[in-house]
Amino acid sequence: MSHALKAALFGGALCCAGIAQAKDTYRIYGPSTTATNNAYYAWNGSRMTDFSYALTSAYNYYFTHYNAFVDTKIHSTNVDYLATYDVLQRADCIVSPWWSDSETSGNEAYYAAYHFRNGGDLLLFNDDSSHDYIAEYLGIPTISGVSSGTFTDSTFPFDGPFGNPGVVQTSGNVGHLDLADVVGTGGQVLALNGSGQVMAAFWDDNAYAPGSGRMIIVTDVDTVSDLGPSTYSPLSAQGRFGLNLVAGLIGADPCNPADCDANGVLNVDDVECFVDTFLGGCP
């Protein structure tokens, strides 16, 4: 194949990346203050309110307005106990904010994993080894501590419809993922800190296992909480990052991720991989 043709195809792919597909309603379920025993980082906790409101409010023109960035309505539900039939039947996505392992029951981790393995999405904020029960249950534990807390993201789905946030700041407890755990379970690296530690990763549909949904793990909840420099009206860098996370789950390209060869590195080999899969019928 000529280099010119490859360049043209890749350029077209870049134009499409990050644009969320239309869907009537995307339902996010998260643990309440009762479930987490934490008034700050529950899905309805005080430090997650701005993020949740930005996703669901029609006044922000982000997801719910007729002139929104993403043609999808977000519906958010707080649950006191995750392991229920209602969650499995209704949730498109289960979110886990800063949720202590000691407050997460084995049944709740099982239900979240069942939801994911059967096509549901997961958005997990796992700051350390004591707040990562669901991901640990799936074989992707968080390693406590980092050598460098900030990271610069430039790849899909983070570079999404709300713009590239550039440098993402972390705060408080911050962890990282093991590259072998990510790649070994079908994931792809989305963000590395200055020391090369994995700060965010993405699993596309069917990547973790046949029939599984999408999952994003970020190793610091304060990249989206109001404890960090996150504002959603107007959008700060952190705000763009948080909204792009959900836009990526809704409309991420199911065939050609940025790290197409899933080796944890973004380079020209991924361009070759993208073009090969594109010509093989995976748009």
Per residue in 173-197, pLDDT tens?
Answer: 899 999 999 999 999 999 898 889 9
- From the centroid of its chain, how far is CA 164? 15
Least confident of 20-29, 56-65, 112-121: 20-29
- d(C-alpha 260, C-alpha 254), whole Å: 11
**Is the dihedral angle over the CA atoms 37, 98, 123, 23 positive or is it negative?**
positive
Q: Report helix, strand or coil for 147.
A: coil
**Given this model, what pLDDT does residue 265 score?**
56
- d(C-alpha 93, C-alpha 123), whole Å: 7
Domains and CATH numbers, the chain: 18-252 (3.40.50.880)
* Contact between 177 and 140 (Cβ < 8 Å): yes
**Given this model, what pLDDT does residue 204 score?**
94
Could you report the per-residue pLDDT of 206-233, keeping only the tens digit for each?
999 999 999 999 999 999 998 866 788 8
Give the mean pLDDT of the chain: 83
Token duo for residue 112: 């979240």
**Given this model, what pLDDT does residue 34 score?**
96
Computed on alpha carbons and rounded to an integer, the radius of gyration of the chain in Å comes to: 18
Buried b (16+ CB within 10 A) or exposed e, 128-139: beebbbbbbbbe
**Given this model, what pLDDT does residue 9 score?**
31
pTM of the model: 0.81
